[in-house]
A and B are shown apart, each in its own frame.
Chain A
Amino acid sequence: MDTTLNQSNRTTSVASSERNRWAMIRGHKFRRNLVWLLMSLPALLWILVFKYLTLFGAWIAFTDFKVRRGVFGSDFVGLDNFRFLFATDTAVRATINTIALNLLFISGGVIASMLIAWLFYEIYTSRLTKFYQTMLLLPRFISWVVVGYFVYALLATDNGLINMLLRNFGLEPVSWYNTPQAWPLILLLTSLWSGMGIGSLIYLSGMLAIDTQLFEAARIDGANKWQQFIYITFPIIMPLLVINLLLSLAFILNADFGLFFQVTRNQPLLYSTTDVLDTYIYRSLIVTQNVSMAAAAQFYQSIVGFVLVIFFNWIVRRIERADEPLALF
């Protein structure tokens, strides 16, 4: 911008100095770009190593991996690992559990987050809003290990809070860590407890953008709060909700390792309803040390995950409004 300005001002200046000036500007431009490149290099290197080089690790899924022989020295075995993997009930069960539990968490999460956002919206001007928000955000920043401790304090068979209450009411205490059918619900509640505060914030910001005249008009027409929610708020934040749902669905094969590992205390008796792909891969890799099998499960999770992300992202791109880009890419 300043160059054009200077150009017009300096029509009288000699042609050679003008040429020098251009050379200088070009030099500056080159130097600037070089500095920017140098600034990016350390982080780019990290991304290259940790995000791109690890992709070659997918090869492990097709080999009989031996640590001593390395990734590319191990014998190629084609699809054998995958044949073994899907021959085991465990991998199939882990897949079903991952999808079913994630669907449960996603639907529960959306409903809870939206209702909480609505509650916040109704009292947004109150001074207490900040306090509530702080409290509801807090669980997300407690490590899963400590959450595991807390859930244990609630569910311990001999002296957990819930069994103590059951006893007080004259009911049979339940051996929770031995009752797999209760765990989808327990995990749902834990995941809601941890995520609903943050989940609600995106819907709240959507609601705060709604023109309040709409509510005013509805109130004059005699609509109560619930009707206002159903006929105004909900339709307006619907796109936001759909897009959130789609983006969550894209990651449906990825389970929150901490939730499933720590909160269940990695209790084998619960695996029938709580073993997911991520915990299965962990066990194959670290406990049974069958790296090839872990790699096969990992490859399958990553590939299907990638396809899902591309697919759902494509849908989101098609339905999002131009002024409000929401897609990942």
Chain B
Amino acid sequence: MTYSQRLRAQKRLDTDSLMNWLARFSVHIVLILLSLGCLLPLVLIISASFTDEIALTRFGYNLIPAQFSTTAYELIFRNPTVILRAYAVTVFTTIFGTISALALMAPLAYALSRPDFILRKPLSLFVFFTMLFSGGIVPYYILMTQYLRVQNTLFALILPYLVVVYYVLILRTYFAALPAELIDAARVDGAGEFRIFISIALPLAKPALATIALLTALNYWNDWTTALYFIRDSQLYPLQYMLYIIQSNAQAMQLQASVGNISVGEIPTQTARMAMAVLATGPAALMFLIFQRYLVRGVTLGAFK
């Protein structure tokens, strides 16, 4: 290499590292902007919920409250029965539903992961074939309302997410990868199959179980469609459905008010609605932030294929 060649190479390296630095810098900028974009909705709703009602009407929705006020929350907490009821329904279905779902899915997944289970092949086909088709909402609606008759009960809210076949598939894969020696050893020590499942397989599968539990809990927490179809009793409204009802009532009342039929006084104010949305989303967002590492791990397990 001649001196001038080396010099040229050196120069290219310098510009390279500068370009590299610039490239990395701009990547960070883009990702920061995207992250802010993802956060924007929550900020917008939170800000609206802390804005004075009149200011919100006059100055519009903004990322920073035009005029700070906690009236919306005071209004809600002055008469908290509605939101507390909805909270109770949602918390109950989320906790009870998630536990039941794991209690159903984990044993099935474990059994299907055992190589010497005689029925493994036919049962796997029976379970996983359902991923390919769906009868859709209509037969399901008829089943729930005409045959199981669970409309307007808490069962209706819990039943739909008890078994998610895709989650069973993930759990089965995880159970199948557990070291066979441990299970054989327990068997030699005289532990029964159920005992092995409870005290060896389950603790070892904790990461996968945590991922599935989180996904299931979020399914229950964010569910409003089930109530849309099956819950007419306002005592049993879950949080998200209550939010939807408030919104669509307000929409209908505004329409009537604009025709001049009724006074606008009874509509929950815009800020109160936004405050409700904040209260309904808070726990789910918190759940997400605290356990998000399980979600990222869930991706490596193929939870979002």
Interface residues of A (CB under 8 A from B): 1-2, 29, 31-33, 35-37, 39-40, 42-44, 46-47, 49-58, 60, 67, 70-71, 116, 119-120, 122-123, 126, 128, 131-139, 141-150, 152-154, 156, 158-161, 163-164, 193, 197-198, 201-202, 205, 219, 222, 224-225, 247, 254, 257-258, 262, 265-266, 278, 281-282, 285-286, 291, 294-295, 298-299, 301-302, 305-306, 309-310, 313, 328-329
Contact = CB atoms under 8 A, between A and B. Distances in A.
Given A50-B143, A135-B38, A313 B108 contact: no
B304 A285 contact: no
What 10 pairs between A and B have smallest CB-CB spacing?
A: A57-B139, A135-B35, A150-B41, A143-B222, A39-B107, A159-B60, A164-B60, A54-B135, A43-B108, A36-B111
Contacts of A201: 296, 299, 304
A1 B180 CA distance: 12
B243 interface: yes
A225 B27 CA distance: 12
B165 A47 contact: yes
A57 B284 CA distance: 35
B48 A153 contact: yes
A147 B244 CA distance: 11
Contacts of B277: 145-146, 149
5 contacts: A119-B30, A131-B35, A134-B289, A153-B44, A202-B299
A136 B37 CA distance: 9
A67 B138 CA distance: 13
B110 interface: yes
B211 interface: no
Contact of B135 (A55, A116, A147): A55
B128 A164 contact: no
Contacts of B118: 33
B28 A128 contact: yes
B244 A47 contact: no
B39 to A, nearest CB: 6
B112 interface: yes
Contact of B224 (A67, A144, A152): A144
B23 A138 contact: no
Contacts of A313: 132
B44 A39 contact: no
Contacts of B149: none
A282 B59 CA distance: 37
B45 A146 contact: yes
A149 B23 contact: no
B61 interface: yes
Contacts of B241: 145
A234 B28 CA distance: 21
B244 A136 contact: no
Given A47-B165, A149-B45, A132 B127 contact: no
Interface string B283-305: 01100110010011001100011
Nearest to A53: B143
Interface string B28-69: 101110111111011011001000000011111111000000
A156 B61 contact: yes
B136 A281 contact: yes
B138 A137 contact: no
A309 B41 CA distance: 35
B152 interface: no
Nearest to A251: B134
A46 B123 CA distance: 13
Given A67-B146, A161-B61, A60 B28 contact: no
A126 B110 CA distance: 38
Interface in B118-156: 118-119, 123, 126-143, 146
Given A43-B104, A143-B222, A150-B45, A57 B140 contact: yes
A152 B130 CA distance: 37
